[in-house]
Structure 1
Amino acid sequence: MPAGGKPTVRSRRLGTALRQYRQAAQMDQAQAAEVIAASPAKISRMESGHVSCRVIDVRLLLTAYGVTGGERAARLEELAKGSNRRGWWLEHAAHLRADYLDHISLEDDATYIREWQPVTFPGLLQTSCYAEAVTAASFDYIAPERSEKLIKVRMGRQAKIGEGGATYAAIIWEPIIAHPLLDADIHREQLAYVLEAGKRKNVTIQVLPFTAGTVASLTSAFAAFSFDSEPIVEAVTLDNLRGTSVLEAADDLTAYANAFDQLRSAALAPEASARLIRGVLRSSKGHTT
């Protein structure tokens, strides 16, 4: 079953999809249970994400629901295979909150990642020095050993983007670019790193300018994830002072997909964003000479 007997992000996603397909096929849980020679209680626990699903059971259920072959079926079978897969980050699990593990799991599975950040540079774009400084500035005291693990995990998360494993679009508010919150040298290094990251084919970086006005206040930081060949938002994570919340309800996903589209429309184009960042970087270097 999922670690600790609790639903994981992967098991919840799989369970939700199985429930939706069962309902679309107008079958109840008792009828679905007959397909895999199980009890209705097992179908209920599979659909709630409380138990892992065998690939053969998923395949049989999807066939009964009329979902055969194609990308949808393949994706759900992959979820079943990976529901208990041990991610690289789990070696640091003792130092990470359960909600943060959920966020990393979503990143690891995603084909598209969209992120709005009005406070700091996104974690997927941070240098190790910037990550260390941001972690040290946390409201909560973080022991040095845990801090070291957190930074290592943050750097590890970036491999997904660096290796081209997902398409990544980030929108960053201009004050983050223009006004260093940390040491000036760290800020310059961070700006240079963002410029280099923006050259990757799978990465798009846009700056939301001061002139966008109230658009920046539409929502706090969030990340949106898609897991298919189409960039349909299927999960959203929100950061707060005490952790990360995962949203999966359809209305929530629609709202955040629309919010990102509004932010993207108000942001500078990638080329103009890069020019702005280069200008700030040149100016900051000039002030030190």
Structure 2
Amino acid sequence: MPRDIDPSLNRRRLRIELRKARENAGMTQRDAAKALEWSLSKLIRIEAGTVSLGVTDLRALLQLYEVADPQLVAELEDAARGSKGQSWWAQYSDVVSPQYALYLGYEGSADVIRMYNPVILPGLVQTADYATALLSAMTPETRLRQQVDLRLTRQERFFDGDDGPEIDIVLDEASVRREIGGASVMRRQLDHIQELAQHPRVTLRLLPFSAGAHYSVTTPFILLGFKDDDDLLYLEGPGGGLSSRDDLDLMASYQECFEEISAIAYEGDRMSELLATVRESLDNG
């Protein structure tokens, strides 16, 4: 399905343009909040893209920042009207943490998504059977169906249709050899990976055991790239979440790690051959 304009994307457009306008006006967040007699926290939330913005408040900001371009004003007013309402994942709110909801908002507007998981297959490549088997080991039965549906809906939004980001995934040999759900589930899962590798916006690589240790050998991570904003890092796991844009050293470490493992990972025919070898071992097991 095409990626419709989610409220979180409109809030992101407002966040970028309003921060740029404030900085062009030579004002700090505290200056702007004081001039409008707003609380500082209100302005911070608007510029963080975590709340919707009414047209009246938008116009007050644009007037303060002396933004007068009719086309830009009209576009931002449309974005403000579209910043309200529920995001696509609202129906899964029982199983989406606040941190993950924030991530999904950014993911939906990314131009490039790069990811690596050293232990299991990333959610974007999982089949329904694999996801069910994996999540059943850690999710209450009452929430299992919702968790699986969330993953499948997320996949549909990226892979069904011509529009969407470039997706670059490095799989780990450990993840394709770990039998989640048994041999038959894994055979179908490996076939699915082979099919997904043919998608025009997807690049799949496979990091072999022989690669040895590297910076993220124990940590799954996702890098989101934007044409009009700084990259974002999402560290997966119980203690994970979006990193601060100000933590440049941490971001650089994971960017370098992704480049390093991508350079030594198998791709194309070599990846397909290793996947076929793993599948054959399942047939003979």
TM-score range, shorter chain: 0.7 to 0.9
Q: Is the 8 A contact 1:104 1:157 kept in 2?
A: no
Q: Could you report, residue by residue, the CA deviation over 1:144-191 in whole angstroms, capped at 9, with x for unpaired residues?
A: 221111011111110122124221111011122234244111111110
What are the ranges of 5 or more consecutive residues in structure 2 without an aligned counterpart?
A: 1-7
Secondary structure of 2:200's counterpart equals coil
Counterpart position of 1:204: 203
Distance 2:263 2:21 in 1: 35
1:209-224 alignment to 2 at 5 Å? 209-215=208-214, 217-218=216-217, 220-224=219-223
Distance 2:43 2:266 in 1: 48
1:242-281 alignment to 2 at 5 Å? 242=238, 244-250=240-246, 251=248, 252-281=250-279
Letter of the structure 2 residue corresponding to residue 248 of structure 1 = S
Letter of the structure 2 residue corresponding to residue 124 of structure 1 = L
Counterpart position of 2:46: 46
Counterpart position of 1:92: 92
Q: Is the 8 A contact 1:173 1:208 kept in 2?
A: yes
Q: Is the 8 A contact 1:120 1:176 kept in 2?
A: yes
- The TM-score with structure 1 as length reference comes to 0.76
Identity %: 28
Distance 2:88 2:226 in 1: 19
Secondary structure of 1:205's counterpart equals strand
Letter of the structure 2 residue corresponding to residue 258 of structure 1 = E
Q: Is the 8 A contact 1:22 1:65 kept in 2?
A: no
- The TM-score with structure 2 as length reference comes to 0.77
Q: Is the 8 A contact 2:124 2:151 kept in 1?
A: yes
Q: Could you report, residue by residue, the CA deviation over 1:85-137 in whole angstroms, capped at 9, with x for unpaired residues?
A: 42222112123322232233233222221110111111000011100111112
Counterpart position of 2:191: 192
Secondary structure of 1:158's counterpart equals helix
Counterpart position of 1:157: 154
1:117-128 alignment to 2 at 5 Å? 117-128=117-128
Q: CA deviation at 1:224?
A: 1.4
Letter of the structure 2 residue corresponding to residue 238 of structure 1 = L
Q: Work out the number of aligned pairs and report it.
A: 269
Counterpart position of 2:282: 284
Q: Is the 8 A contact 2:120 2:174 kept in 1?
A: no
Secondary structure of 2:152's counterpart equals helix
Question: For residues 183 and 77 of structure 1, do their structure 2 counterparts lie closer, same or farther at Cα, with a shift above 3 Å needed?
Answer: farther
Distance 2:103 2:90 in 1: 13
What are the ranges of 5 or more consecutive residues in structure 1 without an aligned counterpart?
A: 1-7
Counterpart position of 1:4: none
Counterpart position of 2:236: 239
Counterpart position of 1:172: 171
Distance 1:63 1:271 in 2: 55
